[in-house]
Amino acid sequence: MSSAATDRYDDGRIVCDDEGLLIRRYYPWGAKRVPYSSIRQVDRLSLTGGNAVRRWRIWGSGDFVHWWNLDPARPRKRVALVLEVGQRVLPTITPDEPDEVERIIREHANF
C-alpha cells in the first residue's frame, strides 16, 4: 500500500477504496462489495491458540456463521477481521495488513 493513498488498500484479495471493501473470491462466481455504511462493527479474531484450526479454512464456512473468502495464504496468518453487516452470515477476511484494513474501516464506517 502506498503511504500517499491513506484510504486505498489492495493486497490482491481485499480492496479498500473510498466507498467500501471489495472482497475478491468471496463467492464461487466472484467478489462481494461491502459498503462502509453497511458495516456495523469490525472485530479481530485470533487465528492462534484454540482458534488455530480456523487458519485452515481456506474458503467457505465451517460453522454457518463466518464466511471466509478464498485465501490460500490463510494458514500463515495470525488474525482475521470479522465484519458485522446486519446479517446472520459474517464476512470474515484475512488481509495481509489487518491493522491497516481495520483502521480504514473504522475511519469510514459509522459505528
Mean pLDDT of 1-12: 68
pLDDT tens-digit profile of 49-92?
989 999 999 999 999 999 999 999 999 999 999 999 999 999 99
pLDDT tens-digit profile of 15-27?
999 999 999 999 9
Q: Is it the case that residue 3 has pLDDT exceeding 70?
A: no
Q: Count of alpha carbons within 13 Å of 70, Cβ hemisphere only?
A: 9
Cell numbers at 10, concatenated:
489492495
Distance between CA atoms of 74 and 88, rounded to whole angstroms? 23
Q: What is the pTM of this model?
A: 0.91
The predicted pLDDT at position 110 comes to 84
Domain ranges of the chain: 9-108
